[in-house]
Structure formats: C-alpha cells, structure tokens
Copies of this chain bind each other. A is one copy, B any other.
Amino acid sequence: MDEFGVIERFFRHTPQAESVLLGPGDDAAVIKPTPGMGLTMSMDTLLEGRHFPVGFPAEYVGWRSLAVNLSDLAAMGARPRWALLSLSLPQVDEAWLEGFCRGFFTLAEQMGVSLVGGDTVKGPLSITVQVTGEVPATRALRRSGARPGDKLCITGPVGLAAAGLANWQAGITTGALVQAFAQPIPQCQTSLRLQGLATSAIDISDGLLADLQHILTASGGIGADVHVEALPLTSEFLSWGDGAQRQQAQLYGGDDYQLLFTLLSHVNVPRGCVQIGRITSRPRIRVQDFQGQWHDNMAIRGWDHFTS
C-alpha cells in the first residue's frame, strides 16, 4: 500500500463538517470560516521516545497528538474547528494506523474537529498536527494579562499524568493515572467560559511552576503565591507515592493539559475550577508546600517530557 492508498483508506472518510468545502485528496483543503471570528492556529510535533514511550499503543498516540494541540487552542479560549495531520511512519502498519485513527478521530469527534488534510511520509515515527480554532479576536486569552492581586486558578488536578507515566514505566499499564497520561482531555469546554473573563491563561504542558513562570514573564515580570494544599486531587492520585512525590508531580509534572489562568480579584471562580493562589508584584514564585511551609524562589524547571 503506497502513500496514496494510506490516505485514501484511513483518512479520506473523515466526517465533513458544513464548514469543510473540500477535504483531504486535492492539493489543499477549502474551508469556510465563521464570519467575524478570529482564527487561532497551533502546531506541535510528537516524536516516539521523546513525547511518548517507544511502543506506546497507537490509539494513545493518536489521541495525544490531537489533544496536545487542542489544549493550545483551549489556552486561547478558542473553539477548535479544523486539523491537519502529517504522519512520518517507518512502514505502513495497518493495525497501528487503525489504532491511531481510533484515538485521533474519537477525540476529534468529541471536540467537533474536522481533519481536512495532511501528509504521510516514510521515516522515523513522528506525528505533527496543526489545528485551527475560532475565537472573537478581542476575547482571545493571552499569557500577558496577569496583574498583581489577580486570583490564580486551575481547571483541574495536575500531577496525574506524571504519576501515570511513572506507573507505565514501572509496568502498570492500566488505571486512571495511566489514562490521564495516555488520553488527556483538553479543556476546550471550560476554555469557552473563560473567553473575555480570564486576564491570562496557559495550558500546563511543561509543569505547573514552569508554565506559571511563562505567564509571570509574559505579564511583565511579576510573581505569585501558590498553595499546594489548594490543588485539586483524585483518590487514585492520593494512593500514589508519598506526599513529597505527589507534590513533585503536581508542581513539576507536565502532560495533564489543565489550564492555568488568572481572574480579576472580584470575579468569581467558574464552577469546576479552583483558586490555587494569587498574583503578586514581587518577581518570584512563593510556594506553600503540603506541610504548610513557605518556599521562596523554588527551582523552576520545565518538564522535559519523559526523557527527563
């Protein structure tokens, strides 16, 4: 089966939304955007052995490769619409492709995304997804709008994916924690409620403190106080590791794809979200740990995905 056969068989049958005037198969897709909306665009590449473990199930790879991109749109407050996919594959493995498509299209359908085109090449396993979403241009959420006094909030628990990856690497391949790493849910729905409400937002892909630092730097070099005890938890996470390991996963673990955002101090925290701290004027992050101790200028290191 050559490249064209692969495209034909696995990707051309994607459901065509009304907005898709011409989908995969021609030189380029033709799309009808919603009048008056701004477009948000993002693109991320996932490499085997770097962004997911070697031999990771194809269904998870397909899901994750779309999820990490949709999370970027969620961080802008945008509604996801269209995706393009470039697959570099060592060989045409039909079972792998079927699994990949199951993961990719299940999430795409849940999130209302149409695959409109892309490319397949023979090479090392690598997946690049480009996504486009729509948002009223003036209501897009940026990293740069946080101000001292703002509430610091999060859409859900973090640390689960890092715990799940640790489980996976220890040979535990099922359970809610592995699921959190394998098939993270991008916060697209919650994100729409933050449009024009949050003063800043980012998705947590590098780790809570690393991504918080991105907001603080983009917002002009301010700081934040963070309370570890305020971070949402799940029962599965509470039965993983010890307190120090859990805190490590919560502060530094990436790959949960929750949103971190700020609100003016008089604005109520949206339902389902949690305030975990406050923006301050001093250019540093202070963390109150799970034992109640305050730490100044905690080492901010990014989550170098699973190669770290």
Contacts and interface: CB of A to CB of B under 8 A. Distances in A.
Given A27-B143, A28-B73, A30-B137, A128 B202 contact: no
Which among A76, A121, A135, A137 has the highest number of chain B CB atoms within 10 Å?
A121
Interface in A11-41: 21-22, 25-33, 35-36, 38-41
Nearest to A37: B33
Interface size class of A (residues with CB under 8 A): 35 or more
A135 B25 CA distance: 18
A212 interface: no
B44 A33 contact: no
- Does more than half of chain A's interface fall in helix, strand or loop, or is it mixed? strand
Interface in A201-260: 201-203, 218
A88 B47 contact: yes
B22 A140 contact: yes
B116 A30 contact: no
Given A27-B72, A28-B72, A47-B88, 9 more contacts: A21-B137, A21-B140, A27-B75, A29-B40, A29-B42, A30-B40, A30-B140, A35-B35, A43-B128
